[in-house]
Structure 1
Amino acid sequence: MNRFSGTGKESFASVLPADSAYVTIIRDPGTMFESTYTYLQYQHRYGVPLTGFLENPSRYYEPNGGKNHAKDSMLYDLGLEEQFKTNAAEVDRKIQRISTEFDLVMMTEHFSESLILLKELMCWDFQDIAYFKMNARSPSSVKSVSEETMKKIRKWNDGDTKLYNYFNRTFWDKVHAFGEERMRREVAKLEEMNKMMKDRCIDKVITNDQHVWHPSGIAVESFKLKPSVEHDEDCQMMAKTELPFTAYVRQRQLAKYFGHKAPVL
């Protein structure tokens, strides 16, 4: 999720077509914060493990460019300024504004259902939303978190918790309007296509591939493709990891606007 400017949708709307759809995705703050704390290695920045930080987070947290994601990171990425994180009225106002700015707020915990709603919104086909789970930590790098710790995480990230609860409700309203039985059928079709693509493309899952960026000490899963799909564009694109894929998209965008004079990244 890239940071959505504090001025809201206006800066994006100034360069995008009028009929653009605005979509974002959020995640349960409990698992989100554990992932952030581990992945960004805040235990080194703050000098304490996650449980130690949560005993008295205000003692450790200092809002600045390197640590803004240690509290209410989703609201921050969606444009809530740092000074408003502890202002309940501003948080409520921001959530209401997000609800008007985005056509769809997807849920990480219900990713397949989210993609079905995205397909419906964009008038896409199943082949447009088939996916491999990318950039995931291997099980050895995921820390088990107790329910008590989860409660402390959600209390500390009270703004993100309010955000998540609001859009969790509206998400299931959308599912209900879409049709729950229809949703089950379409999710099954998507899972079938995902399996077909995995069987077609993937040789095996690997961790700590030297060509895939990951924080020191954090094992991240990626895919080794079958030799037979070396020239299969669908397989190559679906297995492309975050940074190379981002560079590819940027290069395509530059070529669109600058033609043959596009700078090479």
Structure 2
Amino acid sequence: MRHWGPRSLWVPLGVFMTIGFGLQLWGGPFQKRGRTFLLRPLSRFSMLQLRPSWTPLLGTAVESCLPRQRLVFLKTHKSGSSSVLNLLHRYGDRHRLRFALPVRYQFGYPRLFQASRVKGYRPQDRSTRPPFHILCHHMRFNLKEVLQVMPSDSFFFSIVRDPAALARSAFSYYKSTSSAFRKAPSLAAFLSNPRAFYRPGAKGDHYARNLLWFDFGLPFPPETKIKRENSHLPKDLNPLQRHVLPSGAGPGAKILDPSDIFQPVSTVADGHSQPASLTSFDVGSSSFIQWGLAWLDSIFDLVMVAEYFDESLVLLADALCWGLDDVVGFMHNAQAGGGQGLGAASNNTRTAEDQQLTARARAWNNLDWALYIHFNRSLWARIEQFGHRRLQRAVAELRARRAALAKHCLVGGEALDPKYITNHRLRPFQFGSTKVLGYVIQSGLSPQDQEECERLATPELQYKDLLDARQFPPPVPLPLKTTRLLSR
């Protein structure tokens, strides 16, 4: 009592008050998506949660956190998004989460997303029905309507791809759908004079230019305006800029200077900012582009990059407090002979013709190129926070796990031509001029392994149907009354 008199009690009391005030600041309000939510610790303060067998290779000091299960994934076209969709399907299926599903397979695309297109959505029942956990199927992004369906504290993420690689994939896949692509004899012919084939507003021509920008629901400047519904950004950008940081860039980051858009980077070789020559790069109004990018930064918690898919998966697992086993999987919807596409190879291995096509594709898809530069930079800023060595170890573990699963689950250990896939539940939907590869499961697996391997190999359309059947089981027919047959 002599040591803990009335005056001495102020010391521990002051310590507790200081800690409490600090925690209040740490969990204080942060403005994002037009609503208030709690600021989460930066990724560098939380170790990636792994299952016990994985932990020793990344360190044993795994900080506890709660897995995020309210997710909005904007599934962009031809950017590796089908592979992300598979891991979301599997995670939600395993944890019995509730998906916001389309009536068919897309939410009215290419029209802007509407909450009314979600199967089972009833606005008047929002207070009584359990909320959706995951929204992840094809849509053109429309934030206002998304927030009618998903909780405001959902984790928003998406994926982008070098527009040069995307153009090659889109040309072969949507050649019969886009009037511009259909009229062009080849991608090289199209890119040599795209305005000879492209007509803004023509059927399917949103696939032919700035497809990422379109999928993100951003409006188009007058010179590239598509005659369809367009979302509208806030008229006053200045308040937005004061509260927005590039995705994952940390508290010390600044809004990208508009002049950065005129200095494209070679993003594929090593992820660092290396000037690239692109004299025909015409971005129109740089302030307009920065406006759109700042708006996206205010919404999306993470934007993955297809060229760094495994690195992006590790960052996703870290951000969601998931284990690596939750994000390991196989590639889906890959086209036969597609390789990595334009823009994915090193400059040293490209021919002069390839380099010319790459430059033309990026210039034609100028808004997508600006968007890609921005999110490539923000990804690498996030990697800096995460730590390069730590990331390399996690990526190596992820790839080792994927290779082991492929060897254990798959005939041939890789994706196969669809002619070998006789199981209709595993045969991917064939569309476009190039075959879409799929998987054949090994025979002789245990029932548990068979189930898990099939989940890994199930294409998006079939998996959506499985989830649909679980969430909306058909009504059980009433037993028919038996009637006695009368004999004559």
Q: Which structure is higher in helix share?
A: 1
Look up the match of 1:59: 196
Larger Rg: 2
Q: Give the Cα–Cα distance (whole angstroms) in 1 for the partners of residues 295 and 140 of structure 2.
A: 12
Look up the match of 1:120: 318
User: Are the equivalent residues in 1 in contact too, given 2:330–2:456 (CA < 8 A)?
Assistant: yes
User: Are the equivalent residues in 1 in contact too, given 2:172–2:433 (CA < 8 A)?
Assistant: no
Secondary structure in structure 1 of the residue aligned to 2:416: strand
Q: Give the Cα–Cα distance (whole angstroms) in 1 for the partners of residues 395 and 209 of structure 2.
A: 33
CA shift, 1:105, in A, is: 0.1
Look up the match of 1:95: 293
Secondary structure in structure 2 of the residue aligned to 1:229: coil
Amino acid at match of 2:395: V
Q: Give the Cα–Cα distance (whole angstroms) in 2 for the partners of residues 103 and 180 of structure 1.
A: 20
**Which residues in structure 2 correspond to 1:66-215 (within 5 Å)?**
66-82=204-220, 85=224, 88=285, 89-139=287-337, 146-204=354-412, 205-209=415-419, 211-215=427-431
* TM-score scaled by length of structure 1: 0.87
Aligned residues: 256
User: Are the equivalent residues in 1 in contact too, given 2:165–2:341 (CA < 8 A)?
Assistant: no
Is there any run of 5+ residues in structure 1 with no aligned partner, and where? none
The CA RMSD over aligned residues, in Å, is 2.5
User: Are the equivalent residues in 2 in contact too, given 1:27–1:107 (CA < 8 A)?
Assistant: yes
Q: Give the Cα–Cα distance (whole angstroms) in 1 for the partners of residues 431 and 290 of structure 2.
A: 34
Is there any run of 5+ residues in structure 2 with no aligned partner, and where? 1-74, 76-137, 226-283, 343-352, 422-426, 477-488
Percent of aligned pairs sharing the same letter: 26
CA shift, 1:208, in A, is: 2.7
User: Are the equivalent residues in 1 in contact too, given 2:174–2:207 (CA < 8 A)?
Assistant: no
Residue in structure 2 matching 1:248, options 466, 471, 476: 466
Q: Give the Cα–Cα distance (whole angstroms) in 2 for the partners of residues 249 and 219 of structure 1.
A: 26
Q: Give the Cα–Cα distance (whole angstroms) in 1 for the partners of residues 433 and 182 of structure 2.
A: 15
CA shift, 1:233, in A, is: 1.8
CA shift, 1:230, in A, is: 7.3
CA shift, 1:142, in A, is: 8.0
Q: Give the Cα–Cα distance (whole angstroms) in 2 for the partners of residues 46 and 143 of structure 1.
A: 22
CA shift, 1:20, in A, is: 0.9
CA shift, 1:124, in A, is: 0.5
Q: Give the Cα–Cα distance (whole angstroms) in 2 for the partners of residues 149 and 139 of structure 1.
A: 18
CA shift, 1:18, in A, is: 2.8
Q: Give the Cα–Cα distance (whole angstroms) in 1 for the partners of residues 168 and 392 of structure 2.
A: 30
- Greater CA drift, 86-95 or 59-68: 86-95
* TM-score scaled by length of structure 2: 0.49
Amino acid at match of 2:310: S
Q: Give the Cα–Cα distance (whole angstroms) in 1 for the partners of residues 288 and 183 of structure 2.
A: 28
- Greater CA drift, 41-50 or 88-97: 41-50
CA shift, 1:196, in A, is: 1.6
CA shift, 1:247, in A, is: 2.5
Secondary structure in structure 1 of the residue aligned to 2:196: helix
- Greater CA drift, 75-84 or 165-174: 75-84
Q: Give the Cα–Cα distance (whole angstroms) in 2 for the partners of residues 248 and 260 of structure 1.
A: 12
Kindly indicate whether residue 139 of structure 2 is the aligned counterpart of residue 3 of structure 1.
yes
Relative CO higher for 1 or 2, CA cutoff 8 Å, sep ≥ 6?
Answer: 1
Amino acid at match of 2:416: I
